[in-house]
Amino acid sequence: MPGVRPAPAASPLPNRGNSMNSGRLRYMADQIARNFAAGGEAAAIAATAEHIRLFWDPRMKAAILADDRNALSPVAAAAVDRLAGQGAWHGSAPDSSCASKADG
């Protein structure tokens, strides 16, 4: 039929709604860790922790911190451990220099 769109493909993510459940957060943390894996384990842990600290919403950070880290990949678990140990999981906003350039 013309103008009819096919149904979207099934997502590999659990519960594709608006809520951020623990399964989805674990998937995201593991995906971030995999993206940084080429730099080596120590660098991947540091980069994953920094990414979560800078870019995750405080509720997301609190949820991943409270979740079972045994369900995470070793790199993601170590990154969350690092954030918990630093107390930095409360986080801060990313550098706003990009936003100020866009305003100019």
Would you list the domain boundaries of the chain? 22-103
Q: Look up the pTM and report it.
A: 0.68
Cβ atoms of 82 and 91 closer than 8 Å = no
- What's the pLDDT band for 25 if we cut at 50, 70, 90? very high
Cβ atoms of 76 and 49 closer than 8 Å = no
Mean pLDDT within 9-29: 70
Q: How far apart are CA 56 and CA 90, in angstroms?
A: 10
Give per-residue pLDDT as tens, 45-59: 999 999 999 999 999
Cβ atoms of 85 and 53 closer than 8 Å = no
Q: How far apart are CA 1 and CA 93, in angstroms?
A: 48
Cβ atoms of 34 and 61 closer than 8 Å = no
